[in-house]
Amino acid sequence: MAGAIAEFDPSDAKLFLFDWMGIDSWDFSTPKESCVAALHIAASQMVRVAIVHGPRLNRPVAWVAAILREEGVMVRSWRAEQAAAAAAWLKGKGS
């Protein structure tokens, strides 16, 4: 994911909505250094990130969000029923 974002180069696309509702499980382990580095590079493409996910992904979402926040990205996570609020927040229209 981070590699694809890092290579993404639209000059005006700085808002990202990650819909992770289709991910049933994530075999989460200590991240590889290359993955962490790729997320740091990807963060340069981002201003705001909304992540919509189920409760089983709390840990990986928190990890991704922490790295992005470290780079100054505004990040929030949302449950499926809050997807509309996530989209509004992403556009700067929500709290």
pTM surpassing 0.75? yes
Inside any domain, residue 95:
no
pLDDT tens digit sequence for 49-75: 999 999 888 888 999 999 999 999 999
Q: Look at residue 92 and tell me if it is in a domain.
A: no
Number of domains in the chain: 1
CA distance 22 to 31: 21
- In a domain, residue 90? The reply is no
5 within some domain: no
Task: Find the helix or strand (DSSP H, E) in which 17 lies.
Answer: strand 15-19
Does 7 fall in a domain?
no
Percent of the chain with pLDDT strictly greater than 70: 84
**Residues of the domain holding 53:** 14-80
Q: Is residue 53 part of a domain?
A: yes
At residue 26 the predicted structure's pLDDT band, cuts being 50, 70 and 90, is confident
- Other Cβ atoms less than 10 A from the Cβ of 89: the count is 19
In a domain, 64, yes or no: yes
